[in-house]
Chains A and B, each alone.
Chain A
Amino acid sequence: MPSFNPTILINTTPAVSITTANPNLTYDMFRESLGDYAYEVDVYYVSAQSINQVMGVAQYNYLNADGMQRYISLTPVLDPNQFQAAVYYDTKYADIILNGNSQVSFKLLPNELISLTLYTKRISKQTGMEAPDNFQKLGEAEGMPKLFGDWNESI
């Protein structure tokens, strides 16, 4: 019954690095924001260095309301004469929502670099307060004097 102990190293380069186009938003910050912000993905676009990478199936895994794991497969349909190593999924009607309780899984080939672009609709806790007069209506309903017009105005 063999046992194996690991060699532990702290590296300067991760096995997989993810960077964002926005210098003010790291990938880890994005992950931490999920839950406070939710993204409904309308378009899922991947370009890679090799056609083999984009031929792979990606899976969107999520937990439904019962807490059961479910998944949607994003299976590429590639033109046999396609030159560009890129694939575009219209996910508008697939209900792909990044809210912290979901993930996207795929195989990343050796030394591959892929660019992933998602066109999304974003909602947050502030979204419900974005109507211009929510606080004004709230104040009126409670018979309060009109102190401010919206949640982000100073008194």
Chain B
Amino acid sequence: MSMYELNFDIKNNTSNTISMNILGGVVYSNDISNQLTSYTYDFTGFSFLSEDSVSILYRPIGTNNFAFFSAPIFAQTFQAVVSALNSSNLGSFYTYQSGGVNYIQSYSDRYEFATIDIYDGAPAISWTMYDYATQSGITETLEISYIKLLPPPPFTYTFTMQNGIDKVASEDMPAYVTSATTTMNTGIAEPTLTLSVYKIQKVNGAIATFVNSASVPPATPTSITFPVSQGYAYIIQGGTP
């Protein structure tokens, strides 16, 4: 056993207090020292209401699939959000204010961070409706429900169509939704519609997995049931068989 002296100079190059985790092995990814890639989240216009949870998508550099981390926040402050994110041990997040705007930032060359959601844990699902009616050359309305799943863990969701889709245009479909079962036609009245559900990656949409389909008579309320998994988004797409 030999005596050994270790000397480290540690310099904070920012104007923010940073939670440091140092002298751990390479398995510890919450050590942000000497990391050059910054991830800055701008919270312009955001103020807390009843939010009690935060989630973040992340993936190790060089991998394809984003994973999902969520944690409760115990106060409606950005510092609480940072504490929740730091409990992931993915990095060391910190918050600061500049020009009246709140930011959360971290540095990591090991992980790529994507969307942060700050939400009230009560509603499990949110969705966005896309309306293509105003685009040139398209005379019919296309509605695609993009369901963004948030915790709690996997459950079954029932989606009910209410006279929503009756005609669709293929050129308006997102590029990542392709399937032989959902060939689209423009401007042609459809006697029957196939409603298809795809499980996709939320961020880049690179992977679309077919989940379920249902046959929909024109202008008839129809239900389709499909299992949903934590951390994935779902797209419901209408088309003719």
Most buried by B among A7, A100, A108: A108
B33 touching A17, Cβ below 8 Å: yes
Q: Is B198 an interface residue (CB 8 A)?
A: no
Q: Is B63 an interface residue (CB 8 A)?
A: no
Tally of chain B residues near chain A (CB < 8 A)? 58
Selecting from B113-121, B165-173, B186-194, the interface stretch reads: B113-121
Tally of chain A residues near chain B (CB < 8 A)? 58
Q: Is B42 an interface residue (CB 8 A)?
A: yes
What is the count of residue pairs linking A and B with beta-carbon distances less than 8 angstroms? 214
Residues of B within 8 A of A122 (CB): 1-4
Residues of B within 8 A of A34 (CB): 23-26
A127 touching B1, Cβ below 8 Å: yes
Q: A1-B126, A2-B117, A6-B114 are in contact. Are A16 and B19 (CB under 8 A)?
A: no
Separation of A43 and B19 alpha carbons in the complex (Å): 22
B40 touching A7, Cβ below 8 Å: yes
A19 touching B9, Cβ below 8 Å: yes
Interface string of B1-24 (1 = CB under 8 A from A): 111111111111111111111111
Separation of A105 and B20 alpha carbons in the complex (Å): 5
B36 touching A120, Cβ below 8 Å: no
A118 touching B43, Cβ below 8 Å: no
Separation of A120 and B2 alpha carbons in the complex (Å): 8
Residues of A within 8 A of B153 (CB): none
B38 touching A15, Cβ below 8 Å: yes
CB distance from B120 to the nearest CB of A (A): 7
A4 touching B115, Cβ below 8 Å: yes
Q: A19-B9, A111-B14, A112-B12 are in contact. Are A105 and B34 (CB under 8 A)?
A: no
Residues of A within 8 A of B18 (CB): 15-16, 107-108
A117 touching B6, Cβ below 8 Å: yes
A108 touching B12, Cβ below 8 Å: yes
Q: A1-B120, A13-B13, A106-B20 are in contact. Are A116 and B25 (CB under 8 A)?
A: no
A30-45: which have CB < 8 Å to B?
30-32, 34-35, 39
Q: Is A138 an interface residue (CB 8 A)?
A: no
Residues of B within 8 A of A32 (CB): 25-26
Our pick among B7, B26, B35, B123 for the contact of A15 (Cβ within 8 Å) is: B35
Q: Is A73 an interface residue (CB 8 A)?
A: no
Residues of A within 8 A of B21 (CB): 61, 103-105
Most buried by A among B9, B43, B116: B9
Q: Is A143 an interface residue (CB 8 A)?
A: no
Q: Is B143 an interface residue (CB 8 A)?
A: no
Q: Which residues of B contact A (CB under 8 A)?
A: 1-28, 30-43, 46, 105, 107, 112-120, 123, 126, 148, 150
A–B pairs, 19, beta carbons within 8 Å: A2-B46, A4-B41, A5-B114, A6-B114, A8-B39, A10-B37, A10-B38, A11-B37, A15-B12, A15-B13, A16-B34, A34-B23, A100-B24, A104-B22, A108-B12, A114-B9, A118-B5, A120-B5, A122-B2
Beyond contacts A11-B38, A34-B24, A100-B25: 18 other A-B pairs, Cβ-Cβ < 8 A, are: A1-B117, A2-B117, A4-B46, A4-B118, A10-B38, A11-B36, A16-B11, A16-B33, A18-B34, A27-B33, A31-B26, A98-B23, A108-B12, A113-B12, A117-B6, A119-B5, A122-B1, A122-B4
Q: Which residues of A contact B (CB under 8 A)?
A: 1-22, 27-28, 30-32, 34-35, 39, 61, 98-123, 127
